[in-house]
Structure 1
Amino acid sequence: MTAYTRPKRISLKNHPVYSENWVQDIIADDPSILGLGDLVLRDRERIQSRAGRLDLLLQDPETYKRYEVELQLGATDETHIIRSIEYWDIERKRYPQYEHCAVLVAENITSRFLNVVSLFNGAIPIIAIQMQVFEVGDHVTLVFTKVLDELQRGLVDEDEDAISAPTDRAYWEKDKGTPKTVALMDRMFELVKEGDPESELKYNKFYVGLIKEGRANNYVAFRPKKAFVLFEPKLPRSDEVDALLEDVGIETLEYATRWGNYRIRVTDADFKVHKGLFQDLIEKARSYREG
């Protein structure tokens, strides 16, 4: 039988051996230890203009979401909160194409701190993680526990009635698009029907989505305009899809990080030449939605 060794919790603040740099080394070597997924290190001690240095900048290689991580030995305090929010704000303004989240890591996170941070959560994406350090025999281990998670915003179709009043086909033909671009949307929707024959179009005020068995199922959405259709497959941003679109030269708008979808301008000419590509994107989006 393996012998039991009781762990002894130690504090890193003013510790003669273990320092904040030591913690940074551990996280930089294996960012997954924070429990935020398989992240990669983008930068360390990142210089912020007139605002000090960001401890760690991590990124999700699949969604490209970035995490601005600030470490605090001992108990967290007001300056820790301010630094974390300030660095998050600087980074999101410098790189608005990515989704950003502030991450506060401290050895001691008090209830007062959680109350203050929870006031920001929702307006500012914040995650709080408590760090504990234990000696186990001749070894030292770090344990990270998430005590405040980022407030997740619902998808468009999860609160459809609240943000998009239903309309009809005539509204899109007259007010938003034209009969010609709505007809182009119909041809694109036929590609949806090939793999998902029970889907139907649902005309909303801000977009045309999909409905299946009476429920919204918007793995793709359409927005007919006057000269084109804005096609929006819900897919995590990836090098594979970026390369597909770049290789064929189709015009795209900025990736919608908040909603998690590509935004592709499609004309009649685009559809005739790249029909197979659009069908592939639709199938990818449907497979991703179905898990």
Structure 2
Amino acid sequence: MALMYKKPKRLWLRSNPDFTEKWVQTKIAEDPSILGLGDLVLRDQERIQPRAGRLDLLLQDPDTKCRYEVELQLGATDEAHIIRTIEYWDIERKRYPQYDHCAVLVAEDITSRFLNVISLFNGTVPLVALQMQAIQVGDNISLIFSTVMDELTRGVVDEDEDAEAAPTDRAFWEAKATKGTVSLADQLLRVAQEFEPSLELKFNKFYIGLSKDGQPFNFVSFRPKKNQINLEVKIPETEEMDAKIESSGIETLEYNKRWGLYRLRLTKDDVAKKPDVLRELIGAAYERRAG
């Protein structure tokens, strides 16, 4: 059966008595993925805030443990909505500092004026602004959430000013770890040089990175320890890559979603005997960095 085109109609919930803020809140609570922020789970709804009202929704990413403080408003956002969103975020992050926290502002209309105001906070306050549209198609209604301002992306490892301000040398890392584990960085460098022969190790206080023509060129980084070396590879997480790493038997740490990093804990035997999967990981990261 051929699909038939049906022109959608936008509804403004603020002026529609059949659909309330509570109704929207319930729909998000039933399926937080409709926000487009990932596979989140509901932690709490109408969460009481000490001397500050109620937080509409508290959501959590089960992988990263990041919590999202979500404040809804039908119609256009205003000063009170912005203040409330930031206030609830601040309360929650102070009560539960063991989690990362992100404020999420949701409204049917986010004007350029208020978007400019919100953007002033982004960088100090992790803040996402979502514009919600209620769409009617026939006898059905759907909610569509569009990101109009995303959480500020923090600098990647090659833009880390603290690291750039604290260069060090091989002796520093050999004393902090061992000569043997630092030499594993040399072996992994040779793998990276298969894709870019001019690469060199760049020793920083917090990690060992890569440089090209004297400038940072990081797509992988190394953190030698006493008995192994941690390899960080900047590529998106995929089920296919997860399966390859798992089948190789290499020990992995939790994928860092904030920075987009695979983190592998490598022994001397891993580097020597499992070059294929390491070459694939490093090559994929190089292609993303060079492209």
**TM-score between both structures, scaled by the size of structure 2:** 0.70
Are positions 1:15 and 2:16 aligned together? Answer: yes
Partner residue of 1:103?
104
**What RMSD over aligned residues (CA atoms) do the two structures have, in Å?**
4.4
Deviation, structure 1 residue 145: 6.5
Deviations 1:189-221 (A, max 9, x none): 111112221211111121111111332111111
DSSP-derived class of the 1:255 partner: coil
Deviations 1:156-175 (A, max 9, x none): 212446654222222222x2
CA distance in 1, matches of 2:45, 2:193: 51
Change (3 A) 1:58 1:170: closer
Q: In structure 1, what residue type is equivalent to 2:238?
A: S
CA distance in 2, matches of 1:235, 1:101: 23
Equivalent residues in 2 for 1:248-259, closer than 5 Å: 248-259=248-259
CA distance in 1, matches of 2:43, 2:186: 52
CA distance in 1, matches of 2:92, 2:164: 28
CA distance in 2, matches of 1:196, 1:265: 24
Of residues 66-75 and 123-132 in structure 1, the stretch that sits farther from structure 2 once superposed is 66-75
Change (3 A) 1:154 1:67: same
Q: In structure 2, what residue type is equivalent to 1:200?
A: E
DSSP-derived class of the 2:236 partner: coil
Change (3 A) 1:243 1:143: closer
DSSP-derived class of the 2:259 partner: coil
Task: Tell me if structure 2 keeps the 8 A contact 1:101–1:126.
Answer: yes
Identity %: 47
DSSP-derived class of the 1:223 partner: strand
Partner residue of 2:157?
156
Q: In structure 1, what residue type is equivalent to 2:85?
A: I
Are positions 1:165 and 2:169 aligned together? Answer: no
Equivalent residues in 2 for 1:48-63, closer than 5 Å: none
Deviations 1:76-120 (A, max 9, x none): 434751586279859x978x5xx7643211135578966775564
Task: Tell me if structure 1 keeps the 8 A contact 2:253–2:264.
Answer: yes
CA distance in 1, matches of 2:225, 2:126: 33
What runs of 5+ residues in structure 1 fail to find an aligned partner? 1-7
Partner residue of 2:74?
73
Are positions 1:205 and 2:205 aligned together? Answer: yes
CA distance in 2, matches of 1:41, 1:176: 39
Q: In structure 1, what residue type is equivalent to 2:270?
A: D
Partner residue of 1:178?
178
Deviation, structure 1 residue 42: 4.3
Task: Tell me if structure 2 keeps the 8 A contact 1:64–1:237.
Answer: no
Change (3 A) 1:69 1:191: same
Deviation, structure 1 residue 69: 4.6
Deviation, structure 1 residue 270: 1.9
Task: Tell me if structure 1 keeps the 8 A contact 2:173–2:224.
Answer: yes
What runs of 5+ residues in structure 2 fail to find an aligned partner? 1-8
Task: Tell me if structure 2 keeps the 8 A contact 1:255–1:261.
Answer: yes
CA distance in 1, matches of 2:191, 2:235: 17
Change (3 A) 1:156 1:164: farther
Deviation, structure 1 residue 44: 6.6
Partner residue of 1:215?
215
Change (3 A) 1:222 1:162: closer
Q: In structure 1, what residue type is equivalent to 2:216?
A: A
Change (3 A) 1:84 1:134: farther
CA distance in 1, matches of 2:43, 2:263: 35
Deviation, structure 1 residue 259: 2.6
CA distance in 1, matches of 2:65, 2:112: 32
Deviations 1:216-271 (A, max 9, x none): 11111112222211111112233333333333332233333333222222121222
CA distance in 1, matches of 2:257, 2:42: 24
Q: In structure 1, what residue type is equivalent to 2:89?
A: I
Deviation, structure 1 residue 141: 9.3
